[in-house]
Amino acid sequence: MDGFRGLGTSAIANALDDLRITGVMSGLGPVWRGARLLGPALTVKEVTGVRGAYPPSDFRIGAIIDGAAPGDVVAIDNGGAVVSTWGGVASFAAKARGLAGLVVDGGVRDADEIEEQAFPVFSRHVVPTTGKTRLKVEAINVPVSMGGIPVAPGDIVVGDPTGVVRIPRESAAEVLARARRFAADDERARREIASGLSFTEALRKFEKL
């Protein structure tokens, strides 16, 4: 998995395309500029109701953080609900535990605190509305859907300023090899453009820039 460190999501997406693997999560982006994450997914399935629909004990964010291992990426499927499932204190606790980051198909809040702590968070919404009594954690470490992409526990999740991708565990080696080739082609193209090659010529020479 460490081989993906330093590779951009664009190169990984090209590799996924070549292998006909769907993996680019739609509509999920970084809460703060420059956020990056990489790690195996600790998956969480949530449901949302109106205020008072669930007791506060169903929120269970503490159980998620406490049950995660250092290096995990928490991947929360809340169906895109415009309600916050995570905030500044949770980010502080997750960073202290050594988690690699968070991806939420739903909302988070306390964006300023999250940025100050430099904890990588990617979400669909940033919204102040609390999830307490509105959210219920249905299951942990089960298959979920994130931005239209199926994510299984342990799948590799990569996030950068461009977006978030998921790499199936069983395809990781093949995706990594192809993504490295795409990244190397991009670097060669930059060098040749700097030496006088036109962009049109570079497009012909290096496909999928």
- CATH code where residue 127 lies: 3.50.30.40
Say yes or no: 63 and 114 in one domain.
yes
Averaged pLDDT in 10-residue chunks for the chain of 209 residues: 91 96 97 97 97 95 94 98 97 97 98 97 98 96 97 98 97 96 78 69 62
The domain of 208 spans 1-21+168-209
CA-to-CA distance for 13 and 203, rounded, in angstroms? 18
Q: What is the pLDDT of residue 25?
A: 98
Whether 43 and 143 have beta carbons less than 8 Å apart is answered as yes
Query: 3-state secondary structure string, 16-83?
Result: HHHCCCCCECCCCEECCCCCCEEEEEEEEEEEECCCCCCCHHHCCHHHHHHHCCCCCEEEEECCCCCC
Say yes or no: 153 and 180 in one domain.
no
Say yes or no: 150 and 70 in one domain.
yes
Say yes or no: 111 and 27 in one domain.
yes
Residue 174 pairs with which residues in a beta bridge?
none
Q: Is 202 exposed, middle or buried (0-12, 13-18, 19+ CB in 10 A)?
A: middle
pLDDT tens digit string along 44-59?
Answer: 999 999 999 999 999 9
Say yes or no: 37 and 17 in one domain.
no
Say yes or no: 172 and 185 in one domain.
yes
Q: What's the structural domain count of the chain? A: 2
Say yes or no: 199 and 156 in one domain.
no
Say yes or no: 47 and 124 in one domain.
yes
What predicted TM-score, i.e. pTM, was given to this entire model? Answer: 0.91
Say yes or no: 126 and 39 in one domain.
yes
Whether 35 and 161 have beta carbons less than 8 Å apart is answered as yes
Say yes or no: 57 and 130 in one domain.
yes
Say yes or no: 148 and 50 in one domain.
yes
Say yes or no: 38 and 141 in one domain.
yes
